[in-house]
Amino acid sequence: MGGLGLILGLGLGYAGRVFSVKVDPKVEKIYELLPHGNCGACGFPGCEAFANAIVENPSLAETCTSSSQEAREEIGIILGVEVSAKNEVKAQLFCRGGINSKDAYEYNGIESCAAASLLMGGPKSCKYGCLGFGDCVEACPFNAISMTSYGYPKIDREKCTGCGICVETCPKSLFRLMDKNDPLIACSSQDKGALVSKYCSTGCIVCRRCVKACEPGAISMENNLAMIDYEKCTQCYKCVEVCPKGTIVRVGAKVEIKAES
């Protein structure tokens, strides 16, 4: 039996060498430089599949939006191609309702934003706002999103790679990828200001103070909501200063939470 085992072992070892698949060393080097989040934002099922693909087709080198600029440049050197500078964008949440927004009814179903939104848009009085069940937290492959005690998610700007998975996951379409320094309208309600003021303490009330304060004319009102034209925005943040509800915030800045009493 011992002899038979030895023969079979040697046979398996020989077969392993003969039929083994040789891995291109470039693939291994590139794979090590990738974020290993397997987010799929590049269009491939994972980082290993992407590494194999770009070795075969170097024109795909810039497809991974989750890699750091340093990693992108290293990959370009390995492939012998020039990689352009990465436009650094981060996911941002266009809502700051949470405990600031009143409930329309008591929800006792599956704790999922996708599930709750199927029942009359969800339990919040604001049909446009965050439901707070954390589908985005579960979906983020880089653990960059966490739920706060205020009832809406917080994005860790250091961990966020701008992969866009949260954008696709949110049933209310509250996440967008944008420049890390742009001011943002942390509200998505299209209800009239008088109605918004009844159910949310941080929602846009269409007072137009931001429109008047913006010297470059980058802010306008559309569908009862302030909108910023980022092509015109100079990041002066005067809109942030005049907003009476704290709806317009400077991305990354600590903001005061106004809870409903």
Residue whose C-alpha is closest to residue 136's, from 98, 100, 165: 165
Rounded Cα distance between 208 and 224, Å, is 10
> Higher-confidence residue: 92 or 22?
92
> pLDDT band at 240, cuts 50/70/90?
very high
Q: For the beta carbon of residue 47, count every other beta carbon within 10 angstroms.
A: 23
Residue whose C-alpha is closest to residue 255's, from 241, 200, 128: 241
pLDDT of residue 39: 87
pLDDT of residue 255: 47
Rounded Cα distance between 33 and 56, Å, is 17
- What the block records as the tokens of 180 is 């890390």
Per-residue pLDDT tens over the stretch 115-161: 999 999 999 999 999 999 999 999 999 999 999 999 999 999 899 99
> pLDDT band at 256, cuts 50/70/90?
very low
> pLDDT band at 190, cuts 50/70/90?
very high
Return the residue matching tokens 């795909």.
Answer: 60
pLDDT of residue 261: 37
Rg (CA), the chain: 25
Residue 147 φ/ψ, nearest 5 degrees: -85, 140
As a whole number, mean pLDDT of residues 4-27 equals 60
As a whole number, mean pLDDT of residues 172-196 equals 92
The answer to whether 221 touches 212, Cβ cutoff 8 Å, is no
Rounded Cα distance between 145 and 147, Å, is 7
pLDDT of residue 223: 96
pLDDT higher than 80, residue 13 = no
